[in-house]
């Protein structure tokens, strides 16, 4: 395994694991705040929106590879 392959592996799975952990944190925040369904939706929408950009970038790079 080359350094480039290891870095790509770490980026893909490490960041994916971190994103799942962040979603868990958002869920815990909504539950402890007793936000209700709409409040939970808003929390996930706003706080997880940055992750959507990162995932979209990765998908576009994957699609546009020669």
pLDDT in tens, 46-61: 888 888 888 888 899 8
What is the pTM for the complete model shown? 0.71
pLDDT in tens, 3-43: 998 998 888 899 889 989 999 999 999 999 998 999 999 99
Any alpha helices (H) in the chain, and if so which ranges?
Answer: 3-9, 15-32, 36-47, 49-64
Provide the Cα torsion 37, 39, 42, 46; round to 10°: -130
């Amino acid at each position: 395994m080359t350094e480039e392959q290891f870095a790509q592996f770490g980026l893909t799975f490490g960041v994916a694991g971190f994103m799942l952990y962040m979603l868990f944190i958002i869920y815990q925040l909504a539950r402890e705040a007793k936000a209700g369904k709409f409040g939970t939706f808003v929390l996930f929408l706003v706080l997880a929106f940055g992750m959507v950009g990162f995932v979209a970038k990765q998908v576009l790079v994957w699609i546009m590879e020669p």
